[in-house]
């Protein structure tokens, strides 16, 4: 496993982080570039999305916490200052979805997904700096999420609001999503954000809602018949979709474990662990290709998208490693290692740097998607590297401690 650790750390330090520092900084208009094509062609006038900005903030905050490199702190500070100056709505609270290349508001909708990623990033930046003002901003976002976005009748959160926090007629997160009141995706990343914040700062509201989110996944979002996530729901948690997203399944399997661990309820943690292994096994059985790559989506009658996108590959490494830690079953560890081998061989762009958005079933890269864009960020791939390193170090230290006691 030390060999895997060395490989992921090398990818992080010599490809992912240098790429974003070297190519994505926007010295002309501030912040970071909104779009860079796969061939590294820069669109200087591209709009800038809050998800891209927040994920950059999270990545370099985490990198600084791990390595203490002031260059990483500078990148995090740049992302933070841009977030506060241009995305933060000083009148109504919350963050905008999109600004233009100069920072002017372009899409002022308040998507709970975006608020969640901003909380997540601010919490990690607070961890890196210890600055109380950053924590206060994260808590202000929690306050606005809870006061406007929470469904007190049926639990959970609605998807999208207008700038003034009136409920939007169109609830979609993106053009490929369904126009439904509630989604797995928004709840998953709110769970992730609240878990990270609670790990760093005790807060009664965050603790209460994190428990609720975990229970929503157990009671509504995870299909007990097949151990996959249901992706979309109406207001009362009635199912509205039948597509299976293998990447979200394997990502959610370990994020739920992390959340349950932070919450600290032994009974809930036991339930989550049992479900997480079943979810990872379902992905292993149905979505993992012979070459170690993870297929994208399935429907009721089988696979409907055989492409292999960058982010499910990243999440597969952590999800399968987590399932191995929980179950001790060797095929999960083998799957994690093969997932990384697939990434290194097919997903990493060894010529221009960073990772291709997707490759075909046979590993042929697509040049249609961006290398940098509103959804193409350093979050999934850098986080996988951090997670793998932490998990291997934790196991190594545990073994060493047990040997010392023997």
CA distances from 305 to 22, 266, 282, 360 (A): 33, 38, 17, 10
Pair 401, 32: CB distance under 8 Å:
no
Residues across the chain: 406
- Per DSSP, the three-state class of 203 is coil
Helix (H), strand (E) at residue 344: none
pLDDT of residue 206: 98
Token pair listed for 108: 């002022």
- Per DSSP, the three-state class of 311 is helix
Going residue by residue through the chain, which has 406 residues, state the pLDDT in tens, using 9 for 90 and above: 899 999 999 999 999 999 999 999 999 999 999 999 999 999 999 999 999 999 999 999 999 999 999 999 999 999 999 999 999 999 999 999 999 999 999 999 999 999 999 999 999 999 999 999 999 999 999 999 999 999 999 999 999 999 999 999 889 888 778 889 999 999 999 999 999 999 999 999 999 999 999 999 999 999 999 999 999 999 999 999 999 999 999 999 999 999 999 999 999 999 999 999 999 999 999 999 999 999 999 999 999 999 999 999 999 999 999 999 999 999 999 999 999 999 999 999 999 999 999 999 999 999 999 999 999 999 999 999 999 999 999 999 888 888 788 6
DSSP state of 386: H
User: How far is Cα of residue 310 from the mean position of the Cα atoms in its chain?
Assistant: 12
pLDDT of residue 402: 81
pLDDT of residue 404: 82
Helix ranges (DSSP H) in 68-224: 70-82, 112-129, 132-144, 184-200, 204-216
SS3 for 30-79 is CCECCCECCCCCECCCCCEEHHHHHHHHHHHHHHHHHHCCHHHHHHHHHH
CA nearest neighbour of 378 among 61, 135, 4 = 61
User: How far is Cα of residue 7 from the mean position of the Cα atoms in its chain?
Assistant: 21
Which residues lie closer than 8 Å to 224 by C-beta, 6 or more apart? none
Helix (H), strand (E) at residue 131: none
What is the pTM assigned to this prediction? Answer: 0.97
pLDDT of residue 179: 86
């Amino acid at each position: 496993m030390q060999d895997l650790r060395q490989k992921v750390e090398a990818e992080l330090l010599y490809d992912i982080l240098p790429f974003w520092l070297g190519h994505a900084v926007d010295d002309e208009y501030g912040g970071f570039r909104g779009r860079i094509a796969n061939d590294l062609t820069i669109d200087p006038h591209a709009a800038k999305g809050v998800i891209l900005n927040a994920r950059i903030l999270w990545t370099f905050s985490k990198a600084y916490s791990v390595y203490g490199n002031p260059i990483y702190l500078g990148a995090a500070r740049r992302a933070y200052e841009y977030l506060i100056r241009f995305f933060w709505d000083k009148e109504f609270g919350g963050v905008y979805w999109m600004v233009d290349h100069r920072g002017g508001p372009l899409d002022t909708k308040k998507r709970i997904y975006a608020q969640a990623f901003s909380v997540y990033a601010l919490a990690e930046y607070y961890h890196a700096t210890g600055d109380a003002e950053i924590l206060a901003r994260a808590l202000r976002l929690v306050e606005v999420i809870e006061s406007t976005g929470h469904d007190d009748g049926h639990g959970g959160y609605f998807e999208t609001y207008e700038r003034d926090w009136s409920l939007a007629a169109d609830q979609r997160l993106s053009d490929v999503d369904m126009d439904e009141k509630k989604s797995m995706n928004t709840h998953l990343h709110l769970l992730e954000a609240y878990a990270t914040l609670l790990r760093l700062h005790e807060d009664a509201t965050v603790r209460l809602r994190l428990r609720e989110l975990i229970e929503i996944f157990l009671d509504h979002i995870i299909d007990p018949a097949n151990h996959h996530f249901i992706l979309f729901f109406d207001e009362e948690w009635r199912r509205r979709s039948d597509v299976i997203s293998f990447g979200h399944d394997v990502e959610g399997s370990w994020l739920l474990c992390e959340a349950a661990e932070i919450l600290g309820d032994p009974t809930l943690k036991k339930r989550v662990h049992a479900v997480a292994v079943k979810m990872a096994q379902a992905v292993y059985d149905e979505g993992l290709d012979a070459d170690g790559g993870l297929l994208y989506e399935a429907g009721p009658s089988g696979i409907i998208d055989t492409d292999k996108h960058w982010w499910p590959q990243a999440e597969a490494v952590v999800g399968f490693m987590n399932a191995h830690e929980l179950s001790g079953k060797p095929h999960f560890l083998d799957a994690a290692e093969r997932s990384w081998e697939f990434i290194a061989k097919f997903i990493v762009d060894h010529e221009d740097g960073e990772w291709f958005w997707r490759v075909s079933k046979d590993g042929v890269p697509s040049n249609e998607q961006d290398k940098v864009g509103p959804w193409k960020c350093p979050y999934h791939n850098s986080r996988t590297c951090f997670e793998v390193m932490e998990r291997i170090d934790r196991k190594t230290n545990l073994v060493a401690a047990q040997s010392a006691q023997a």
